């Protein structure tokens, strides 16, 4: 490992948010899969994390608080966005176009022409922050769909060093990608990275099919190797599938701690039913929360014998609350919870326990540990780390994972999990019934299979394989890329 080189992580958001409340800035840890994965590999490496602090706060206001909020040996560098940039780059291009489109929900897209120029302008702003904070020898690792043009902007600024990118969300098929008015420009810009990482082989396949259809003159594709090489006018780009994961050891050790075990027992006592089913999601329409609630309602309609015996604990973590579509989703979820509870609640039994807040880490682990069944049913998801976290926190190995076939995690966990189509409410209700009827031996066998697979392909393996890909394509004289995963 090269202790002298810094790792520069660039993502839309910093790993904590700086909210302005009554004129004062409040610093809160942020939630999300990208943050969970990256903070678990930061322990041993000098790192700079560049991102938006997530509010209207000025750089000078954030600067005073920022270092106290840094995880590990990491310096946070804020990129502050003006209100127009927040509206058109973040809410607009990123969340009204790329997020729904890449999750196959094109009818939710708003292809407003004015978003594109600001998306590019903000990508340039992040590129400038890299120039100001990194040395030519540092490793630059860009994350996610907000920053797809960043390598192109860095190249325009004269940067020649190796640039790596990881795509946390799905990459759509050509028929869906075709809807993007800037599809060819976007693909061409991506080819300025040296390494492109995707979650699954089907995302990688989709990316290559999009290249063939919309940027065929820009890259010659060698599709024989596991790590594809794309020969472009500026050089060779490697593209591969690197399924992201979690820190198995850290999660399982912490889940086994006395505090978490006690909290899980208390939760279980409060819920007081035979079967505790758990859902944990950021508030997002891709996570399939209303569909899941309807499937649970169907289960209660179909199986009177389960009344008073099953409870769904649904944790929803506030996210993107200032976007009207998300406010509508919150209302829809709350209406459904109220209507289902209104129909079925009886003395001493409430069918759905609804929690709308961010839990602290131990509370979250206690929820995983207390549950018999995790219901992870996104309509589409890059990976879904909640599915993996639930299984690793199950020290007793007796829980059952019901998992959407549309989550990237399904490719890895399909052998032990019960796979469902999240739109098939009947199928989801049947899967819950099936999971409840599994023998102890079946539950143990399934959960052990999943846990072995996550232990093998944990977050260090993910980071190491990504770094190896960077090193294998790096220019001569480039020192090996290392992310600080080894102790
Ligand atoms: C994106 C992609 C991909 C959730 N509730 C609480 C809490 N969380 C944490 C979980 C988990 C993370 O948030 C959610 O990760 P997911 O992977 O499930 O989903 P996204 O946030 O959409 O992540 C996704 C991921 O990036 C990584 O590449 O898997 O497909 O969409 O880690 O633990 N954390 C705390 N309290 C909560 O209440 N502390």
Q: Are residues 253 and 400 located together in one domain of the fold?
A: yes
Please check whether residue 412 lies inside any domain of the structure: yes
Whole-number Å distance, alpha carbon 121 to ligand 1 midpoint, is 28
Closest among 368, 377, 373 to 294, alpha carbons compared? 377
Q: Are residues 44 and 168 located together in one domain of the fold?
A: yes
Q: Are residues 357 and 288 located together in one domain of the fold?
A: yes
pLDDT of residue 324: 86
Q: Are residues 253 and 327 located together in one domain of the fold?
A: yes
Q: Are residues 239 and 367 located together in one domain of the fold?
A: no
Please check whether residue 479 lies inside any domain of the structure: no
Please check whether residue 387 lies inside any domain of the structure: yes
Q: Are residues 361 and 432 located together in one domain of the fold?
A: yes
Protein residue closest via CA to atom 34 of ligand 1: 31
Residues 116-142 pLDDT 10s: 999 999 999 999 999 999 988 888 999
Please return the burial class of 64, using the count of CB atoms within 10 Å of its CB with bins 0-12, 13-18 and 19+: exposed
As a whole number, the mean pLDDT across the chain is 91
> For position 21, which CATH number holds?
3.40.50.2000
For the CA atoms of the chain, what is the radius of gyration?
A: 23
Q: Are residues 229 and 252 located together in one domain of the fold?
A: no
Please check whether residue 486 lies inside any domain of the structure: no
State the residue range of the domain holding 367: 248-456
Q: Are residues 375 and 309 located together in one domain of the fold?
A: yes
Using most ligand atoms within 8 A of CB, pick from 33, 250, 316 the residue to mutate for ligand 1. 33
**Over 60: is that where the pLDDT of 60 sits?**
yes
Three-state secondary-structure class, residue 11? strand
Q: What is d(CA 73, CA 1) in angstroms, rounded to the nearest whole number? A: 16
The tally of domains found in the chain comes to 2
Q: Are residues 170 and 268 located together in one domain of the fold?
A: no
pLDDT of residue 474: 66
Q: What is d(CA 154, CA 158) in angstroms, rounded to the nearest whole number? A: 7
Q: Are residues 426 and 464 located together in one domain of the fold?
A: no
Q: What is d(CA 99, CA 159) in angstroms, rounded to the nearest whole number? A: 28
Helix (H) or strand (E) holding 116: helix 114-133
Question: Buried b / exposed e across 72-107, counting CB within 10 Å, b at 16+?
Answer: eebebbbbbbeeebbebbbbbbbbbbbbbbbbbbbe
Please check whether residue 2 lies inside any domain of the structure: no
Closest among 281, 269, 301 to 375, alpha carbons compared? 281
Residues 277-325 pLDDT 10s: 999 999 999 999 999 999 999 999 999 999 999 999 999 999 888 888 8
Q: Are residues 95 and 228 located together in one domain of the fold?
A: yes
Please check whether residue 428 lies inside any domain of the structure: yes
The highest-confidence range among 4-18, 52-66, 445-459, by mean pLDDT, is 445-459
**The pair of three-digit structure tokens given for residue 57, joined into one six-digit string:** 């706060």
Please check whether residue 485 lies inside any domain of the structure: no
Q: Are residues 437 and 467 located together in one domain of the fold?
A: no
Q: What is the 3-state secondary structure (H, E, C) of 177-231?
A: HCCCCCHHHHHHHHCCCCEEEECCHHHHHHHHHHHHHHCHHHEEEECCCCCEEEE
Whole-number Å distance, alpha carbon 166 to ligand 1 midpoint, is 16
């Amino acid at each position: 490992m090269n202790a002298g080189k810094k790792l520069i992580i660039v993502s839309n958001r910093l790993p904590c948010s700086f909210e302005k409340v009554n004129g004062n800035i409040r610093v809160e840890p942020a939630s999300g899969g990208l943050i969970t994965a990256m903070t678990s590999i930061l322990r041993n490496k000098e790192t700079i994390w560049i991102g938006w602090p997530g509010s209207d706060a000025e750089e000078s206001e954030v600067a005073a608080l920022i270092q106290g909020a840094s995880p590990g040996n990491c310096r946070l560098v804020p990129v502050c966005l003006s209100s127009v940039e927040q509206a058109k780059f973040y809410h607009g291009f990123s969340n009204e176009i790329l997020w729904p489109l890449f999750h196959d929900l094109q009818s939710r897209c708003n292809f407003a022409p004015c978003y594109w120029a600001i998306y590019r302008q903000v990508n340039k702003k992040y590129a400038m922050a890299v120039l100001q904070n990194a040395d030519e020898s540092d490793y630059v690792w860009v994350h996610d769909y907000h920053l797809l043009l960043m390598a192109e902007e860095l190249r325009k600024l004269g940067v020649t060093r190796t640039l790596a990118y990881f795509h946390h969300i799905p990459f759509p098929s050509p028929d869906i990608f075709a809807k993007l008015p800037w599809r060819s420009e976007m693909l061409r810009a991506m080819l300025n990275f040296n390494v492109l990482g995707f979650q699954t082989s089907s995302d990688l396949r989709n990316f290559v099919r999009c290249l063939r259809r919309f940027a065929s003159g820009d890259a010659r594709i060698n599709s024989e190797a596991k790590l594809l090489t794309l020969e472009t006018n500026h050089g060779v780009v490697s593209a591969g599938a690197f399924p992201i994961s979690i820190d198995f050891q850290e999660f399982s050790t912490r889940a086994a701690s006395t505090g978490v075990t006690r909290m899980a027992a208390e939760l279980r006592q409060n819920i007081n039913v035979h079967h505790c089913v758990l859902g944990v999601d950021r508030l997002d329409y891709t996570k399939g929360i209303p569909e899941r609630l309807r499937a649970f309602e169907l289960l209660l309609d179909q199986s009177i014998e389960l009344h008073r015996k099953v409870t769904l604990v649904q944790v929803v973590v506030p996210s993107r609350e200032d976007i009207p579509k998300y406010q509508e989703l919150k209302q829809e979820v709350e209406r459904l919870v109220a209507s289902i509870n209104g129909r079925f609640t009886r003395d001493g039994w409430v069918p759905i326990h609804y929690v709308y807040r961010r839990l602290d880490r131990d509370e979250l682990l206690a929820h995983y540990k207390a549950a018999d069944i995790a219901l992870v049913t996104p309509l589409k998801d890059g990976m879904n780390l909640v599915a993996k976290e639930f299984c690793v926190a199950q020290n007793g190995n007796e829980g059952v994972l019901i998992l959407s076939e549309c989550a990237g995690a399904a490719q890895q966990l399909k052998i032990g999990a019960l796979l469902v189509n999240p739109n098939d409410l009947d199928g989801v209700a049947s899967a819950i019934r099936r999971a409840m009827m599994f023998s102890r031996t079946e539950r143990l066998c399934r959960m052990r299979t999943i846990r072995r697979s996550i232990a093998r392909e944990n977050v260090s393996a993910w980071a190491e394989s990504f770094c190896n890909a960077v090193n294998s394509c790096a220019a001569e004289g480039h020192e090996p890329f290392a992310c600080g995963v080894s102790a």
